[in-house]
Chains A and B, each alone.
Chain A
Amino acid sequence: EIVLTQSPGTLSLSPGERATLACRASQSVSSSYLAWYQHKPGQAPRLLIYGASSRATGIPDRFSGSGSGTDFTLTISRLEPEDFAVYYCQHYGGSQTFGGGTKVETK
């Protein structure tokens, strides 16, 4: 079973700063099957990125995804107040695992 490890667990940043979130797979995975979601308290998770680097409909271009093999990255180029949330990577595979999440909090 593939395990996704996200780092850091918490990222403390200020609005306007750049956020770099990592997702590492326990074995090489297809980029096509790697997605990122944003989750805010009291809301349903929201799809941000699919296929490792394709932005979902309506997602601002400050969000970008990259990576291949075992290492993937979600980058938020300039944090807006509404971007403070928990972010999860997910791999579609036998178990369709989620990573443990990275919380982006206000510094």
Chain B
Amino acid sequence: EVQLVQSGAEMKKPGESLKISCQGSGYIFTSYWIGWVRQMPEKGLEWMGVIYPGDSDTRYSPSFQGQVTISADKSISTAYLQWSSLKASDTAMYYCARRVYDSSAYFLDYWGQGTLVTVSS
């Protein structure tokens, strides 16, 4: 069974750093891209970026380039999303999802349960 399990909720202060994780199981982790999606309070879904754990090829949405870092450790089937200096506006739910290419289509077929990040002084 394919699963993406994310790390637990975080409460941080502005200026602090943070790294959240997404561990995949039940499939060949290095063969599928993993994407990150943000949902700010009462807002819609926003695409942040994606990584291919096989070779760590990473693509960022222009809105998030330079704001976050996406990485992966294929030895433990885990993708990461990290911030070097959090802002209050980073308060959101963050989801990871597996991106699939099948039948000439791209889509996100499995999602993590989400990690709530709260940034407040």
**Chain A contact residues, CB within 8 Å of chain B:** 1, 32-33, 35, 37, 39, 44-47, 50-51, 54, 56, 86, 88, 90, 92, 95-101
Contacts and interface: CB of A to CB of B under 8 A. Distances in A.
B46 A98 contact: yes
B109 A101 contact: no
Given A32-B105, A35-B108, A44 B113 contact: yes
Given A35-B106, A86-B44, 6 more contacts: A32-B106, A33-B105, A47-B107, A54-B105, A92-B105, A98-B45
Given A32-B104, A54-B105, A96-B35, A44 B112 contact: yes
15 contacts: A32-B106, A33-B105, A37-B45, A39-B45, A44-B95, A45-B108, A50-B102, A51-B104, A88-B45, A92-B107, A95-B61, A95-B62, A96-B35, A96-B47, A98-B47
B80 interface: no
Give the secondary structure class of B's interface: strand
Interface residues of B, number: 24
Contacts of A92: 105-107
A88 to B, nearest CB: 5
Contacts of A97: 47
List the 4 closest A-B pairs by CB distance, nearest first: A51-B105, A92-B106, A50-B107, A44-B111
Given A32-B106, A44-B111, A88 B62 contact: no
B3 to A, nearest CB: 11
A96 to B, nearest CB: 4
B108 A90 contact: yes
B112 A56 contact: no
Contacts of B112: 44
A98 to B, nearest CB: 4
